Amino acid sequence: MKYNLAAASQQNHDTLLTFGGAYSNHIYATAAAGKRLGFRTIGIIRGEAHEQLNTTLQFAHNCGMQLEYIDRTTYRNKNSEEYINSLRKKYGQFYLLPEGGSNSLALKGCAEIVDDIDQEFDFICSACGTGATLAGIISGLNEQQQAIGFPVLKGGDFLTDDIQNFLQQADVKSSTRWRLNTDYHFGGYAKTSTELWTFIEQFKKDFDVPLDGVYTGKMFYGLFDLIKKGFFPKGSRIIAIHTGGLQGNYGLTMNNKSQ
C-alpha cells in the first residue's frame, strides 16, 4: 500500500475506499493505515452483514472504517464505471484502492519485498488472493529466480490472466519465471480442514511461527508437500513469504471448532 497511500496524499484525498471479503487482509491493512495516517476509510464487503463481526471486520470497524455489505452479484461489478460512479455519488470523492490493493503502484511496492531479501535464492513462494502480491514479486526477480503462487481460492487458474494483466499494466515483460499451483486451496477461500489445522499446529510447534488458515497455512502446506514430492531440484534455495493474516484465525471455524 506504500505507493498508493503516497498517491492519495499527493492528490489531496482524505478518503480511501476499497473492496474485500470478510477475511480480507487488505481491508484490515487499509483500516489500520487510515487510522494511522488520518484518512477516512470505507470498506465495501462481499457478503451479508452479521450481528457479530469476525476479528478482521471488528478491527476495521474499531479503526473507524465504514463498512458496507453488498451481495456477490453486485460485487462482481465492483470495477464497472457505473458502480464506481454510484459510490462517488453516495460517499463523495475518494481515492479508489482496488480489491487487494491490486494495481501498478501495488506491484511497485511488492517488488521491494525481493529487494529486502538479503540472501540468494532460487524459488520464492507466496499465497495468492488477487495475484497482485505475486505479480509484484515476479517483477523484482532476476532471470535465474522463479516464483510460485498458491491460490487460496478454488479454481484459482483464472489468476494466471490477472497476473499477466498486472505485469503488462506495470510494463513488466511477460515471463516464464513463475507458475501457480492450485492444488492446495482446501475447498476455497476461508475453507479449511482437520488436515490443514493439524499442519498449522505442528508448524507452530516445530518452528515457533504461527500461520493462518486463510492464506499462509495453505501456502506452507503446499510448499512442504512439494518438497516431500521432490518437486524442487536438490540443493534449491527457497524463500517463503509470510503475508500475515493471523487475525483471520479468530472466528474462522472448521467443524464448529474455533482456531
pLDDT (0 to 100) of residue 250:
78
**What pLDDT, on a 0 to 100 scale, did the predictor assign at position 236?**
97
The pLDDT assigned to 199 comes to 97
For range 53-81, the mean pLDDT: 95
| Same domain for 132 and 29 | no
CA distance 243 to 248: 12
CB 98 within 8 A of CB 214: no
Q: What is the pLDDT of residues 131-177, one digit of tens each?
A: 999 999 999 999 899 999 999 999 999 999 999 999 988 888 766 78
**HSE-CB of 8 using CA atoms within 13 angstroms:** 26
Give 90 or 174, the one with higher predicted confidence. 90
Checking if the pLDDT of 256 tops 60, the result is no
Average pLDDT for 89-99: 95
- Do 96 and 110 have their domain in common? no
Same domain, 163 and 192: yes
pLDDT at 102: 86
Mark which of 51, 84, 100 sits at the end of a domain. 100
Same domain, 113 and 219: yes
Span 244-253, mean pLDDT? 79
pLDDT at residue 2 tops 50: yes
* Residues 46 and 125 placed together within one structural domain of the fold: no
Stretch 22-37: mean pLDDT: 94
**Predicted confidence band of residue 253 (pLDDT cuts 50, 70, 90):** low
Q: What is the pLDDT of residues 140-153, one digit of tens each?
A: 999 899 999 999 99
Mark whether 228 and 247 lie in a shared domain.
Answer: yes
> Could you tell me if 170 and 230 lie in one domain?
yes
Q: What letters, b where the CB count within 10 A reaches 16 and e where it falls short, cover 60-74?
A: beebebebebbeeee
Same domain as 179, residue 203 = yes
Local confidence band at 257 (pLDDT 50, 70, 90 cut-offs): very low
Provide the H-helix boundaries in the chain: 2-10, 25-37, 55-62, 72-75, 81-91, 104-115, 132-139, 159-169, 194-207, 216-228
CB 237 within 8 A of CB 123: yes
Q: Do 117 and 208 belong together in one domain?
A: yes
Domains: count for the chain: 2
State the average pLDDT over residues 53-76.
Answer: 95
Q: What is the DSSP secondary structure assignment for residue 101, as one 8-state letter? A: G
Q: Is the pLDDT of residue 254 over 70?
A: no
CA pair distance 257, 49, nearest whole angstrom: 22
User: What local confidence, expressed as pLDDT, does residue 247 receive?
Assistant: 86
Are both 221 and 162 inside the same structural domain? yes
Give the length of the chain. 259
Do 89 and 110 lie in a common domain? Answer: no
pLDDT for residue 196 is more than 60: yes
Domain coverage including residue 90: 2-100
